[in-house]
Structure 1
């Protein structure tokens, strides 16, 4: 209890001391003093200055801060832009790199594809080459088999059926003017030509043409059938009875060209198709075609005066027909005025040796003998070298040295046969060769510059 009272007293004393200090302080503060006012003003000024400075400092700091912020923002923006640009550049670089990689990969792929395509193409080409070679080999072997079979079997076939040789010799089925109208000679370039038909005793119809000589042609005049026959009756000009070779008809091109040349020489031309040729009916064989020729000759003789010369003209196979016809007429005491043989042969057997397919077997003698013997057995001979012995009429032989179908050596053999065996009272026998350098061949002797002069000279000396 006593200790608590002492502590209370001590606290009262401290409180009183503090109150006294407070009162002294208030007294001092309450004294009116100018210095204090002045000091206060100065303090206020100072404070204002300080405040202004502080504000200006603050403003400067704020502006600096703003500038710094702007700068920082700009820097940040620049950094951001640079970062973005860097990123964009990196992206572009990455894209470029990726594109380059893609392009390089594409190029590599293309190169790889090209390389693989080349290798595949090489493989394919090698396969194709092998296939082609194997195909060619197979074809070659097949051709060898065909050639062997034909070379081996064809002669046997001809030997068994000799009448096939007749078909080859005449070749009347080879119609070079398939769609041509033989009844209209004008379509073949032949004006002043009459088409007519003759009916033989065996009921064979023969198609024929009568071509007027140039000196009897009148421009603008239409010739009737009667006019053509009258021209034969009144004419003193020679009449050429033309017998064509195998195949085709009287309208073949080289034959028509010959008609023009003979017409320019002022000769009448009577040409016709044997049985089985052109528009003529029947089947050709040696006796048959010779019979047709004799029928036409008798028809001509019936239309002209006895003094009118009739010249038999044969070409190629037609020379065999014309020579045999001349023999028949000479044997009957009615020899023709003259006989002209253009590209002739001596006999059909030797002539056939130069004709395909017979000529293919020439290197193989046994097969050649077999196939040519079928020609002998077919009944067709046309042995002109035998028939010429009995022909007393004047004979003119025309042949080209470059004739590849019937060699001139066969014409030489015929000429020699006539010279050796004809009667001494017979007319002249001439052989006129045409140099091979001109290239007239088998069908174009009519184009020789001296053709007309050779023929005219012979005809004038013979009639």
Structure 2
């Protein structure tokens, strides 16, 4: 009989946890709560360091230029231009004499951006980070150094904090974040004079949806604006599908406990304010970009966003490429798309899957599944750096 109270306590503990879980889901249907939960933009994660002094994040003196650019709808977006270390070393004595420790009021007049603008062989990564934090939060400074390291005299990086993040003005939204990305491209192309053929759009986590959204919008122009590469790292297919599989911190599932109750899951997803439909945008991007170089990267040990999302992105891209050749009525099963991939294995580093060129009509669609790095550290791996450099043709 003494065992009975233990079961009673366990029952009420589980009941309380269930109540808390459903209360949390209920709160997420409130627009302001949902926005803060998705973007987590108020959590800076870099309070103890000053974003306008990048040396505090491990960069060399004046290697990074902090500045603002304006969006088409009037927001001021904070950005870092990261000079490749090899170029920095060649010009260090001149660079350190510049006025530092502040936001560049005239970024185009800085030696750093002049070195980018005046080098016809320079490449530029426009980097879109994940939710929460700033350009300087967590591993992100290491991301920037690692991505540039594969070719330390050629790869410059423009990293931005979206509206409502860090020191940028405004409030985040799906349309707004894509506008921030498009405006970053316009700054690079129109003010710096860097042709899209020397620019790669790279996003991680939430940033992959922004990357695809920006590329989709610019490809829809006439003529389409295409880039050296469009690269996603730890991407997801759509916000709805992400919530069904996402684990906060890799441990706490959002909607997975309701897998046995699909009607409840459907009810909750109907309250989503923003769809972030990457697979839909990706299909349009493939259709409108005859020279698309799409690179999908995901870690097999990503416990935040399962790598199966990368499969979904690959399948939709492949299906869209096939439709442009064989007609809009062509349908392809997921298994057919995956079976048609050409697989190359790089030992314990990664596996490369490419869509056959004869089915892409000039497009290049590749998927890299790497074996190390999880959701975040994957960006810092040497393998990822090499993949990015190769996507640039370096």
TM over 0.5, yes or no? yes
Give the match's secondary structure for 1:377: coil
Tell me by how many angstroms 1:345 deviates.
1.1
The structure 1 residue matched to 2:50, chosen from 177, 181, 184, is 181
TM-score, normalised relative to structure 2: 0.75
Whether the 8 Å contact between 1:163 and 1:378 is mirrored in structure 2 is no
CA distance in 1, matches of 2:269, 2:134: 23
Cα RMSD for the two superposed structures: 2.7
Whether the 8 Å contact between 1:329 and 1:336 is mirrored in structure 2 is no
The structure whose RCO (Cα within 8 Å, separation 6+) is larger is 2
Give the match's secondary structure for 1:283: coil
Whether the 8 Å contact between 1:177 and 1:252 is mirrored in structure 2 is yes
Q: Does residue 1:151 correspond to 2:42, yes or no?
A: no
**Partner residue, 1:228:** 112
Mean Cα displacement is larger for which, 313-322 or 274-283?
274-283
Deviations 1:191-238 (A, max 9, x none): 210001123343322111001112321232224642123123212211
Structure 1, gaps ≥5 residues long: 1-129
The structure 2 residue matched to 1:382, chosen from 265, 268, 276, is 276
CA distance in 2, matches of 1:371, 1:165: 16
Tell me by how many angstroms 1:152 deviates.
3.5
The structure 1 residue matched to 2:179, chosen from 291, 312, 316, is 291
Give the match's secondary structure for 2:51: coil
**Partner residue, 1:428:** 364
CA distance in 2, matches of 1:400, 1:429: 18
Aligned positions, number? 325
4+ residue segments displaced more than 6 Å: 136-139
Tell me by how many angstroms 1:311 deviates.
0.8
**Partner residue, 1:300:** 188
**Partner residue, 2:390:** 457
Cα distance, 1:137–1:220 mapped onto 2, change above 3 Å: farther
Give the match's secondary structure for 2:393: helix
Whether the 8 Å contact between 2:70 and 2:183 is mirrored in structure 1 is no
Tell me by how many angstroms 1:150 deviates.
1.9
Whether the 8 Å contact between 1:274 and 1:289 is mirrored in structure 2 is yes
Structure 2, gaps ≥5 residues long: 100-106, 325-359
CA distance in 2, matches of 1:145, 1:442: 32
Q: Does residue 1:208 correspond to 2:79, yes or no?
A: yes
CA distance in 2, matches of 1:174, 1:138: 39
Give the match's secondary structure for 1:442: coil
Give the match's secondary structure for 1:460: coil
Give the match's secondary structure for 1:363: helix
Would you tell me which structure has more strand in proportion to its own residues?
Answer: 2
Tell me by how many angstroms 1:375 deviates.
4.2
Whether the 8 Å contact between 1:344 and 1:406 is mirrored in structure 2 is yes
Mean Cα displacement is larger for which, 315-324 or 367-376?
367-376
CA distance in 2, matches of 1:373, 1:323: 27
TM-score, normalised relative to structure 1: 0.64
CA distance in 2, matches of 1:419, 1:172: 34
Tell me by how many angstroms 1:417 deviates.
0.8
Larger radius of gyration: 1
Deviations 1:258-307 (A, max 9, x none): 21122322311000100111111221110111111111110111233354
Whether the 8 Å contact between 2:247 and 2:304 is mirrored in structure 1 is no
**Partner residue, 2:330:** none
Whether the 8 Å contact between 1:166 and 1:380 is mirrored in structure 2 is no
